[in-house]
A and B are shown apart, each in its own frame.
Chain A
Amino acid sequence: MHSGPKVYLLNMKVLLVFAALLVGTFSEQLFVGDQVLRAVASDEEQIALLRALGEQVDLQVDFWRDPTKPGRPADLRVPFSRLQAVKVFLESHGISYSIMIEDVQQLLDEEKRTMMLSKRMERSANKFNFASYHTLEEIYDWMDTLVADHPSLVSKIQIGESYEKRPLYVLKFSTGGSNRPAVWLDTGIHSREWITQATGVWTANKLAEDYGHDPTVTSLLDTVDIFFEIVTNPDGYAFTHSSNRLWRKTRSINAGSSCIGVDPNRNWDAGFGDIGSSSNPCSETYHGPYAHSESEVKSIVDFIQSHGNVKGLVSIHSYSQMLMFPYGYKRTPAPDHEELNELAKKAVNDLAAVYGTEYTYGSIADTIYLAAGTTVDWAYENGVKYSYTFELRDTGRYGFLLPSSQIIPTATETWPALLDILVHVQQHLY
């Protein structure tokens, strides 16, 4: 029982809503009073009984999850009129069950209502809703509208493909020149950290809107290019919507293991494989078979190396409220520790000035824990002096499930801190 009733409902919902819409004119309420029961067979005999139950046509039992082996749950949708009979059947054979969904129609109505409401809002406002979380498709569509709205500033480039062949898109902010010094920004490398992709969208929009109006941003973009990858792990992000909201890693298949995915923030070639990462494919911090094995990571490595003029990098995560710089893979202070520390201190103070949100700061190893093979360590050791990583809100109350009402406040307070780093890079080009 990992993703709960909602997982199956999500897959079935599409089918059911479609079916419901199809037959809409004839009957609006197809599933009133229907329940979804979860039955767990304790032995093979009970498995056989459950299968037989499904075969009894007059009972109209519809398996959302088939009975497979003892101990594994089977989910059955039972029409209202057959509930009594089915429950008596289960009870008389000692098959334990529980009610997963008490009224299927109610759930469908509610979801349809929410979906329609959100669509109506977006259509009439004709504006992207920055205060809500979006699907991958919605974010990719929005990128195109951003480019269309700011064609002389923003362009979209593809730097590669994810494991499951999704495009890896980067927004390029540039006012011209030829291979100007650049800063790399990324959000969403860990897919469950939804506040980061949402903050990325808001921030990209902010950059585009402020250029030509805010003197700091204008001066910045007249000097420096920005490359912004908002959904750095699209496979993982899609998976958090479809199946497991708390998925962190990529979705690559690991040879010889049934466990999927590599931690993209342990896959970089800096202290690769050291303490602070795991060699177990089932671990959430699995570093992968070798450095840059993940296309999501390799694409960035190739891009930054071939660009050759990237001077700053900010990789955004959540949660913990921290601003950190190298090193993560060792406790030795980085050569630029003093300067990086001072800048972090300034950024964190400017962040706190907005709503009072408190961040801690320092090197990764000092501030959080030893972590090997991270983005910022690789960047720092490959010529990107100003390498930082944020851990956005909160400190554990909601954790990964940060309410959407906090998207805009989070993005708003992070903005001045980000700007401090960008401006410092601009003023200290090397």
Chain B
Amino acid sequence: MPGLRAALPAALLLLSSFPPAAAKQPPWPWVPGVMHALNPSDSQASAAARTALHYSNYHGASPSRLRALHQVLKATVKAIPEVGMKYYMHFTTEDYITGEDAGSCLATVLYLKKSPPQVYIKCTHTQDKKQIHEEDNRFYQYLQHRKKPIIASNIPDSYGNIDRDHLALWGLAIAGSSCIMWERSREKLAYFVAQVKAVKQWIRKDSAVEFEFMILLHETPTQKIDLCHMHLIWILGHPLEVKYICTSDSHGLEDGSGQDSGSAAGMFHGKEGNF
């Protein structure tokens, strides 16, 4: 996002002063151009914070360093006419996998009508950077050196269990899925990873690591379960390369002939990816 990077110093100034907000929460809808304070427990504030974290988790390209929202400390919102709604937030986070405190973040999220939200996010680092690098590296080496491809399904299973051996794989799936969730988030549409339905590794001759995933995303407030076929290439130290196609999947295969589940219905096809 070159535009946002250029605006970085200005953004930092803006965030550090935490723009003065209108005293009272106005009735729906927002008066344009004016900053309105949000109750930190407002679900809209949480949704915006999570959108920022999807962006961060995807761009972090690290299965060992993923953040989940802990608590929103402060949030304000401004309606930008003709453009969208911009949220300004300060929130605390925890490690996605372990639940440990993972520091706090400042973020802005500009929700647009038809494109992925524009996100700026900056977090404090309480996790040991060196340790995270080592964990990523260890996992990466393990994946790179495999002769037999990893194949797994249902992470977590119906009972919420995740094999210890699959924890890092789950992390990788979440990192990749965060791309999907960030791009699809809108002001009134939020996503969670419901389950990693299936994962298959493609063994490569070069240094990259390649996977195909079937991910079930939970969409709110529609309550839909979307099935996404995700293709991911990971080269350590580089941004994750994610390609995906999603289909709405509220009605399993059991429902009979009428329900065609779309192009992502089959599992993994042949040798080449299907994109």
Contact = CB atoms under 8 A, between A and B. Distances in A.
A284 B157 contact: no
Nearest to B219: A284
Interface string B258-275: 110101111111110000
B208 interface: no
Contacts of A405: 160
Interface string B27-44: 010000000000001010
B28 to A, nearest CB: 7
Contact of B253 (A2, A5, A284): A2
A367 B43 CA distance: 6
A1 B257 CA distance: 15
A96 B269 CA distance: 6
B216 interface: yes
Contact of B192 (A3, A97, A396): A396
Most chain B CB within 10 A, of A240, A368, A369, A402, is at A369
A1 B259 contact: no
A337 interface: no
B222 A284 contact: yes
Interface in A278-312: 278, 282-285
A196 to B, nearest CB: 14
Interface string B200-223: 100000000000001010101111
A312 B78 CA distance: 40
Interface stretch (B108-116, B234-242, B244-252): B244-252
Given A259-B259, A369-B43, A133 B159 contact: yes
Contact of B194 (A284, A401, A404): A401
17 contacts: A1-B264, A2-B197, A2-B227, A2-B249, A71-B266, A72-B266, A133-B158, A243-B252, A246-B195, A360-B41, A371-B221, A396-B50, A396-B68, A396-B192, A397-B96, A401-B160, A402-B160
A291 B43 CA distance: 28
B238 to A, nearest CB: 27
Contacts of B222: 278, 283-285
A21 interface: no
A205 interface: no
A402 B159 CA distance: 7
Most chain B CB within 10 A, of A276, A358, A360, A396, is at A396
A258 B161 CA distance: 33
Nearest 7 A/B pairs, CB to CB: A258-B258, A96-B270, A403-B160, A284-B223, A244-B252, A360-B41, A396-B192
Interface residues of A, number: 59
A3 B41 CA distance: 35
A369 B44 CA distance: 9
Contacts of B160: 398, 401-406
B71 interface: yes
B151 interface: yes
A392 to B, nearest CB: 13
B154 interface: yes
Contact of A4 (B154, B223, B250): B154
What does DSSP make chain A's interface, helix, strand, loop or mixed?
A: loop
Contact of A284 (B197, B224, B254, B271): B224
Interface of A: 1-7, 38, 40, 71-73, 96-100, 102, 132-133, 239-241, 243-248, 258-260, 263, 276, 278, 282-285, 331, 358, 360, 362, 367-369, 371, 395-406
A282 B223 CA distance: 12
B252 A3 contact: yes
A4 B252 CA distance: 10
A4 B158 contact: no
B172 to A, nearest CB: 16
Given A259-B255, A395-B69, A401 B157 contact: yes
A248 B264 CA distance: 22
B96 to A, nearest CB: 7
